[in-house]
Amino acid sequence: MAQIVGGIFTSHVPAIGNAIAKGLQDDPYWKPFFDGFHPVHRWLAAAKPDVAVLFYNDHGLNFFLDKMPTFAVGAAARYENADEGWGLPVMAPFPGAQALSWHIIEHLVASEFDITMCQEMKVDHALTVPLALSWPGADTRPVTIVPIAINTVQHPLPSAKRCLALGRAVHEALRSWKSDERVVVFGTGGLSHQLDGQRAGFINKDYDHFCLENLGPAPDALTRHSAVDIIELAGSQGIEILNWIAARGALGESVREVSRNYHIPISNTAAATMLLETVTALQKVA
């Protein structure tokens, strides 16, 4: 049985990637956001995960509006990055946890999730920025990865309830994986932001705090809003919270909040970072 050590939830604004490339972490604009990763670095140094399962959304690099899977699971030996237009430095390829990918795919299909399996898959800023934030300056890859892309772009979108169920099915898959590897889960994107249209720049602190308060102890609360309601509440890109909801499901029932950071704005986004550690049955008794 793999050990699920915890979950890292973070915004993935592309400008963060440029700030990393330019070494702006202590710049007054960026510091309040980057400081939120110090507890994550300390925790990762102790938790020592081998594998990262990442719930994120592709922004047009690998999938476009003509062909858009609702849920896509990577099953590649390696994942190439490319610049989909933000001018970020292209990162070296990420090694895939291919055996785990197929185990997750088998379990999801057996659980009646009609996912798309991708033996080739390019990964964009929504995956690379959170990894670069978590392991700053890492040339060699500290983890192998399983990318799981959720459609947050082309309507109709999956419901929050379905995303939580997907995450819970991934949790079952991890629990039945015969390996002693340590798994960290990522949920990327959000929180509230809208990049386009009349509401460009829209941010909703109240909804963001509702999400941050409930994600750990009561994730089902986040499923009370439909996808369209979430777009009303969080903005047309704030719907990326679906990635956080799925990732929360993959952690299992009990979690403990290790750290939280919320800062407005980073670019157009209410930026947030949250670290949840899984609580085992033994820890609960203690």
Give the interface with ligand DHB as residue ranges (CB under 6 A): 12-15, 59, 189, 193, 195, 237, 240, 267-269
Assess whether 125 carries a catalytic annotation. Answer: yes
For Fe ion, the closer of residues 189 and 252 by Cβ is 189
Question: Which region, judged by CB under 5 A, interacts with Fe ion, from 135-143, 153-161, 172-180, 186-194?
Answer: 186-194
Q: Nearest residue to ligand DHB, using CB?
A: 267
Could you confirm whether 193 is annotated as catalytic?
A: yes
Place of tokens 């941050």: 212
Contacts of 52 (CB under 8 A, 6+ apart): 131, 143, 144, 145, 146, 183, 184, 185, 186
Smallest distance, Å, CB 281 to ligand DHB? 36
Least separation in angstroms between CB 77 and ligand DHB: 27
Phi and psi at residue 150, to the nearest 5°: -110, 135
Name which of 85 and 217 has its Cβ closer to Fe ion: 85
State the nearest-atom distance from the C-beta of 177 to ligand DHB, in Å. 30
Quick one: what does residue 24 bind among ligand DHB, Fe ion, none, with the CB cut-off 5 to 8 Å set by partner type?
Answer: none
Q: Which is nearer to Fe ion, 187 or 189 (CB)?
A: 189
- Which stretches within the chain are classed as H helix? 14-21, 31-34, 38-47, 98-110, 125-134, 160-175, 205-215, 227-234, 241-250, 281-285
How far, in Å, CA of 208 to CA of 201, rounded? Answer: 15
- Report the chain's terminal Cα–Cα distance, integer Å: 22
Report d(CA 149, CA 147) in Å as an integer. 6
Choosing from 125, 171, 225, 263, which is the catalytic residue?
125
Which residue of the set 59, 193, 225, 263 is catalytic? 193
Tokens 């085992």, located at residue: 280
For ligand DHB, the closer of residues 99 and 264 by Cβ is: 264
What's the longest Cα–Cα distance across the chain? 53
- Residues with catalytic function: 125, 193
Q: Which residues bind Fe ion (CB under 5 A)?
A: 189
